[in-house]
Chains A and B, each alone.
Chain A
Amino acid sequence: MESLSNKRKLVESKPLNFLERAYLPAIMSGLATTMKHFFRKPVTISYPEEKREFSENFRGMHSLKRDEDGRERCTACGLCALSCPAEAITMIAAERQKGEENLYREEKYAAVYEINMLRCIFCGLCEEACPKEAIYLDGDIVPADYLRKDFIYGKDKLVEAPLNQ
């Protein structure tokens, strides 16, 4: 049958000629190839000291954002927890008291907000679900730890640092 792509190559297997059977020419060219690599720049990135640049849409550790006045944006609506396919997010809502207007933007806020980093698959659906632009996966890689319980990140680790400090 006629080849449509013209990419087909006929492989012929001929018996090796004398030079090919003598190994040495092939070994020489092999040595030349490896010597070329000997002087090439290493491709290694020495990880903790040197870090590879993340791509622009890299999804790392979550952070709970604050608005321009430094108030927490999250209103504990629970849409992120609902959208989470791994069921990694839980939260407990609380009502804003008088005098806390500088801490929380809306009348309702998350008193407890926990993400289990071992369950999280970093899909970014919480980010998409959030109506308040409160959660983004813009952090670094989640660091290693020894105990499972230490991977449940609370607000202490998730909320952005306050503005004026």
Chain B
Amino acid sequence: MGSFDIIIKFVLIVIIFAISLVVAMYSTYAERKIAAFFQDRIGPNRAGPWGILQPLCDGAKMFLKEEIIPTNANAFLFIAGPSLGILTACIGSAVIPWGQTLTIGSHVIPLQVTDINVGVLYIFGVVSLGVYGVMIGGWASNNKYSLLGAIRAASQNISYEISMGLSIIALLMLTGTLSLKEIAQQQHGFWSHGWFTWNVFRQPLGFLIFIVCAFAETNRTPFDLPECETELVGGYHTEYSSMKLGFYLFAEYINMFISSAVMATLYFGGYNFPFMHQLGLSENLVTIIGTLVLFAKIFSFIFFFMWVRWTIPRFRYDQLMDLGWKVLIPLAIANIVLTGIAGTFIK
């Protein structure tokens, strides 16, 4: 790997990092705007034209607020919690293939930070690390509501990770690889051999289970029990203020962005779009359009996350556990069996 490649990788990392932060920032704005539209309101419109400077103002406010560390809190862990939260949220984007390859002169640049051959496992590892930020923060606050929120987050994430993993196993039986890049390549185009290439058409049940689990993993409504305001004040971040609270909220939006990217890559063909090679465009142009298409898919998933948030009320805690253990896990196992049978007979 020459120095040019290293520089390119570095630039790519910085760009992806910046994009995920900006997307997360504007997700907060989008959430408020979309919430407003769903409720026949206007939404934030004072800061800048149509309120587009609102996230900057919110950020400035978060930075300037007083930092409070409760007396009885464990100061080190209290700070470690949100740091870990935002760290694990940010590193998930490393294995996502954002596009095919760009060719500049003699250099071929893959639009992916790293293509490790266990990409899916890596994503799972990062997602399960994410709950530590919540747990440590909730425990370190030394507040019963925070602790309850943290415990809920932990048990919820553990329960839903199982069915998420099981739904992925069925997908992996089809793809035969754990590398996200290869999974994206296998979904090339839109239609081949008389069937859609995108995995959502081969694994509809698996996708359904995956998206439900993604809602639970990112602590979004209807599974936002860890921060359930009506019962737990603010849940695990009750005691947090200023930018530490900002990091928690930010981590949630980055998680939403990353899990949308993962869903788009695993099930909706990633950067692939219909007729990508029948149009006769140059390779680089196809790559750029593909990346834009991937972002369009990601944004529609983020919109869906928000749409669901303003539609469905929160689950009760026992209903959440019932759904996870008694419905999703058996369904995911049935999906594996069905995929196995179909794989044996159709091929």
Contacts and interface: CB of A to CB of B under 8 A. Distances in A.
A43 B39 CA distance: 9
B190 interface: no
B41 interface: yes
Nearest to A33: B311
B328 to A, nearest CB: 11
A37 B310 CA distance: 11
A34 B311 CA distance: 6
B201 interface: no
Given A27-B312, A30-B312, A38-B37, A46 B307 contact: no
A37 B40 contact: yes
B308 interface: yes
Nearest to A26: B312
B307 A42 contact: no
A6 interface: no
A42 B311 contact: no
Contact of A34 (B36, B42, B45, B307): B307
A31 interface: yes
Contacts of B312: 27, 30
A44 interface: yes
A34 B39 CA distance: 8
A35 B307 contact: yes
A152 B346 CA distance: 87
The bracket for how many chain A residues form the interface is 10 to 19
A35 B40 CA distance: 11
B308 A31 contact: yes
Interface in B307-334: 307-308, 310-312
B38 interface: yes
Contacts of B38: 34, 37-38
A44 B310 contact: no
Contacts of B311: 27, 30-31, 33-34
A37 B36 CA distance: 10
B40 A34 contact: no
Nearest to A22: B327
A44 B33 CA distance: 13
Nearest to B308: A31
A8 interface: no
B42 A31 contact: no
Q: Which 4 A-B pairs have the closest CB atoms?
A: A34-B311, A44-B42, A30-B311, A42-B42
Given A31-B311, A38-B37, 19 more contacts: A27-B311, A30-B311, A30-B312, A31-B308, A33-B311, A34-B38, A34-B307, A34-B310, A35-B307, A37-B37, A37-B38, A41-B40, A42-B41, A42-B42, A43-B40, A43-B41, A44-B40, A44-B41, A46-B42
Interface of A: 27, 30-31, 33-35, 37-38, 40-44, 46
Interface of B: 34, 36-42, 45, 307-308, 310-312
